Amino acid sequence: MSHRLTAPAPGWTTSTDVVVVGSGVAGLTVALNARKAGLRAMLVTKAVLDEGSTRWAQGGIAAALGEGDTPEQHLQDTLVAGAGLCDEEAVRTLVTEGPDAVRRLIEVGAEFDLDEDGEIVLTREGGHHRRRIAHAGGDATGAEIERALVAAVEADPGLELIEHALALDLLTDADGHAAGVTLHVMGEGQRDGVGAILARAVVLATGGMGQVFSATTNPAVSTGDGVALALRAGAEVTDLEFVQFHPTVLFLGADAQGQQPLVSEAVRGEGAHLVDADGVRFMVGQHELAELAPRDIVAKAIIRRMHAQGAQHMYLDGRHFGAEMWEHRFPTILAACRAHGIDPVTEPIPVAPAAHHASGGVRTDLHGRTTVPGLYACGEVACTGVHGANRLASNSLLEGLVFAERIVADLAGLAAAGRLPARTVTSDAATAATPVPLLAAESREAIQQLMSTGAGVIRSADSLTATAKGLAALTDLSRPASPSVETWEATNLHQVASALTAAAALREETRGCHWREDFPDRDDAHWHRHVVHPLAV
């Protein structure tokens, strides 16, 4: 049985061929390519077009574009980072199709940093054995990609946009095929209140769920809405326990909450060192790549050093770069640090890990198809199998590009074969599923504190049991909250947090970015497999 958020019945209805939910690199690419394929498309986004996670991506986009580099080498680095749980066919698809996908992005208008010969400048990040990270504006790659794609979307008068709209739940027809979504437009959009978009196919590109933790690099809109929607619709969701904590996030204090400034891995790629308060480079000797080891290894090393020294953070030292390099290569990071009273030119940057990227999500095949017919997913909301237990740096933007293109190729093929018919939804379909009682808006902070304390970087059976009990206690059905954006978001966060906690409790090993202190070793004999949620936990 499917479930739905408690919400008013739709007061308006519209229709299209493909409804795309989310406006980061994945959603914008799907929408643009769907239009090129001759399909009607409607793009729904929670805030404004450029307010998702894509524009915050600093480091760049990984692809085998440099001399001597090959997709095979990119594949091997990705498989190593994924700690045995990558789908090799998905990774091979990514690294093989990636270079041309980047070139098509350039054709759309994205401008990457070039050298004096007009060639793309490439850098390194953690886990990469070669320079293969293309960047823009020094450390503003996501912002440039978002700018180019938004400009292309806005130039297409036939692509309908609905901003300030929170997608609520999936609509299906009598055969269980996706047939659209319900959504709430928050006043500033083209329609007001709860409505329904009927569609031949639905594409989730809603981004991540970093807001399930107190401190994250994700923007405020990243509340796991797409994963929660998929769980309620009965789609399979997998690998939620693998949440990547970025090793170097600007430390703003132990009580800092919400979105925290990221200090890109590219800073280490250019030669910055991780040091403790005494100036000791503690990554040397721990891994062949030292500071450029895969992110899970660096994050764990930082946490261990913090615990050993009773410190709240470590430091990233890039003073040897000099002012000119900071100003030209990392202007965004330099400005963020200085805004918080830290000058990287003259002092080390205090850093600590924070929630960054979900390696798991809505389970898809190589064409972005989920286990619900007609429902697709791409970008961070999806689990394509590319990332395994730990995402390789700068593979996320590439994944969004490559699999967005593959989704549209699948949809175009269905349309050409006459297999993308209009779907019929009965008049009460939007309210037929079992309603989920809503949590109070203030539950959001309680969820974040529970998750950060018990299901963060370090986990154990005891901490996860306490987290699960705390989450369960928040569902007081005798006092259900009234429908609102805040209560819908809190309920989505709670649903995702509960599923994540259950998966983390089940996986009794340490692998990739999932660290169980009571099971410190990787256990291929029992856990070389995925944890799959068929329904909400």
Q: Which of 224, 246, 254 is nearest to 237 (CA)?
A: 224
pLDDT of res. 536: 37
Contact 61, 398 (CB under 8 A): yes
Q: Which of 380, 419, 432, 382 is nearest to 174 (CA)?
A: 432
Sign of CA dihedral 519, 520, 521, 522: positive
Contact 262, 216 (CB under 8 A): no
* Least confident stretch, 51-55, 219-223, 294-298: 51-55
Q: Which of 246, 204, 229, 222 is nearest to 390 (CA)?
A: 246
* Least confident stretch, 282-286, 291-295, 400-404, 454-458: 291-295
User: How many percent of the chain have pLDDT more than 90?
Assistant: 83
Q: What is the pLDDT of residues 363-389, one digit of tens each?
A: 999 999 999 999 999 999 999 999 999
Q: What is the pLDDT of residues 243-291, one digit of tens each?
A: 999 999 999 988 888 889 999 888 998 999 999 999 999 999 988 889 9
pTM over 0.95: no
Q: Is the pLDDT of residue 432 over 90?
A: no
Q: Is the pLDDT of residue 423 over 60?
A: yes
- Rounded to the nearest 5 percent, the helix, strand and coil shares of the chain are 35, 20, 45
Contact 8, 191 (CB under 8 A): no
Per the model's pLDDT, the better-predicted residue between 251 and 537 turns out to be 251
- CA–CA separation, 517 and 461 (whole Å): 9
pLDDT of res. 431: 56
pLDDT of res. 537: 36
Which H or E element spans position 20? strand 18-21
- CA–CA separation, 294 and 436 (whole Å): 39
pLDDT-derived band at 1 (thresholds 50, 70, 90) equals low
**Measured CA distances, 533 to 105, 225, 231, 270 (Å):** 34, 16, 8, 40
pLDDT-derived band at 314 (thresholds 50, 70, 90) equals very high
Q: Which of 45, 278, 63 is nearest to 153 (CA)?
A: 45
Of 132, 147, 268, 295, catalytic: 295
**Measured CA distances, 515 to 108, 299, 303, 378, 458 (Å):** 41, 10, 11, 26, 5
- CA–CA separation, 146 and 166 (whole Å): 20
- CA–CA separation, 64 and 394 (whole Å): 12
User: Helix 485-506 and helix 461-473: axis angle, to 10°?
Assistant: 150
pLDDT-derived band at 429 (thresholds 50, 70, 90) equals low
Q: Which residues contact 61 (CB under 8 A, 6 or more apart)?
A: 102, 105, 133, 134, 135, 141, 145, 394, 397, 398, 401
Q: What is the pLDDT of residues 23-37, one digit of tens each?
A: 999 999 999 999 999
**Measured CA distances, 461 to 446, 511, 516 (Å):** 20, 15, 8
- CA–CA separation, 227 and 203 (whole Å): 12
Q: Is the pLDDT of residue 535 over 50?
A: no
The string over 485-524, giving b where at least 16 C-beta atoms fall within 10 Å of a residue's C-beta and e elsewhere, is ebbbbbbbbbbbbbbbbbbbbebebbbbbbbbeebeebee
**Measured CA distances, 288 to 94, 128, 187, 291, 293 (Å):** 26, 12, 54, 9, 7
- CA–CA separation, 200 and 313 (whole Å): 50
Q: Which of 136, 162, 154 is nearest to 55 (CA)?
A: 136
Q: Which of 40, 429, 383 is nearest to 239 (CA)?
A: 383
* Least confident stretch, 110-114, 416-420, 462-466, 474-478: 474-478
User: What is the pLDDT averaged over residues 489-493?
Assistant: 97
Which H or E element spans position 165? strand 165-172
Identity of the residue numbered 360? G
User: What is the pLDDT averaged over residues 188-195?
Assistant: 78
User: What is the pLDDT averaged over residues 522-530?
Assistant: 97
Q: Is the pLDDT of residue 505 over 90?
A: yes
- CA–CA separation, 392 and 62 (whole Å): 9
Which H or E element spans position 146? helix 141-154
**Measured CA distances, 415 to 170, 177, 365, 408, 423 (Å):** 21, 16, 19, 10, 13
Decide: residue 231, CB within 10 A, 0-12 exposed, 13-18 middle, 19+ buried. Answer: buried
Contact 125, 269 (CB under 8 A): yes
- CA–CA separation, 445 and 470 (whole Å): 12
The three-point CA angle 368-527-384 to 5° equals 10
Q: Is the pLDDT of residue 430 over 60?
A: no
User: What is the pLDDT averaged over residues 74-90?
Assistant: 97
Note if 295 is an active site residue: yes
Q: Is the pLDDT of residue 312 over 80?
A: yes
- In the three-class reduction of DSSP (H, G, I as helix; E, B as strand; rest coil), residue 370 is classed as coil
Q: Is the pLDDT of residue 426 over 80?
A: no
pLDDT of res. 427: 60
Q: Parallel, antiparallel, or unpaired: how do β-strands 532-533 and 133-134 relate?
A: unpaired
Mean pLDDT of the chain: 93
Q: Is the pLDDT of residue 163 over 50?
A: yes
Q: Which residues contact 102 (CB under 8 A, 6 or more apart)?
A: 61, 63, 65, 134, 398, 401
pLDDT-derived band at 189 (thresholds 50, 70, 90) equals low
